[in-house]
């Protein structure tokens, strides 16, 4: 890990301030390529102009409109569920910065289409929590395999054993894991 830190330089991640948009973008990006997700996000943003992505603007979109923007029927349902829950106050995004990680995860995973991984990404990239270890993240697991010279992807147990030494800054270590994969690509 020391070599990755030297190569990557200082930890520079800054939280996304628009929490609702971050969750919308996370849902849109699930199980598709980054390029396809970026295209759908751009179409959604363009469609809503001059308004921004918000619970109100998403709730006004019909499933057919979302489909015309490239959003699958399943993800359309997820976005509408998210908009309704945030709009009603059932999922209070503005209060989550004061909630413990496990409560945030529990609350977010009640929303259709948001699982533990998406909730962890929200903790990391929207709330800026310093000690989140996304053990199911393929990038983090791949980086651990590479950095610790393991034969296979680490199991959840092995990942947690390795990450124990990163506490209380598992988020920072995870960020360096993701960066290490960028370096590996440029070396290949």
Element (H, E) at 158: helix 156-163
Residue in 101, 131, 136, 137 annotated catalytic? 137
* Distance in angstroms (rounded) separating the CA atoms of residues 161 and 17: 32
Distance from first CA to last CA of the chain, Å, rounded?
19
- Let me know if 137 is a catalytic residue: yes
Q: What are phi and psi of 65, to 5 degrees?
A: -65, -45
Nearest-5° angle of CA 150, CA 122, CA 105?
90
Nearest to 170 by CA among 130, 143, 136, 137: 130
* Distance in angstroms (rounded) separating the CA atoms of residues 37 and 21: 14
User: Taking the CA atoms of the chain, what radius of gyration do you get in angstroms?
Assistant: 18
Catalytic (active-site) positions? 137
């Amino acid at each position: 890990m020391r070599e990755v830190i030297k190569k990557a330089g200082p930890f520079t991640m800054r939280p996304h301030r628009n929490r609702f948009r971050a969750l919308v973008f996370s849902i849109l990006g699930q199980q598709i390529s980054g390029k396809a997700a970026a295209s759908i996000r751009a179409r959604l943003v363009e469609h809503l102009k001059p308004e921004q992505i918000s619970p109100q603007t998403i709730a006004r979109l019909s499933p057919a409109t979302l489909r015309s923007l490239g959003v699958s029927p399943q993800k359309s349902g997820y976005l509408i569920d998210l908009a309704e829950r945030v709009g009603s106050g059932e999922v209070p995004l503005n209060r989550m910065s004061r909630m413990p990680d496990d409560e945030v995860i529990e609350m977010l995973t009640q929303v259709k289409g948001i699982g533990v991984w998406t909730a962890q990404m929200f903790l990391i990239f929207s709330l800026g929590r310093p000690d989140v270890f996304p053990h199911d993240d393929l990038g983090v697991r791949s980086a651990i395999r590479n950095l610790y010279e393991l034969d296979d992807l680490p199991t959840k147990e092995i990942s947690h054993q390795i990450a124990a030494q990163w506490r209380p800054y598992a988020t920072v270590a995870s960020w360096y894991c993701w960066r290490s994969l960028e370096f590996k690509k440029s070396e290949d």
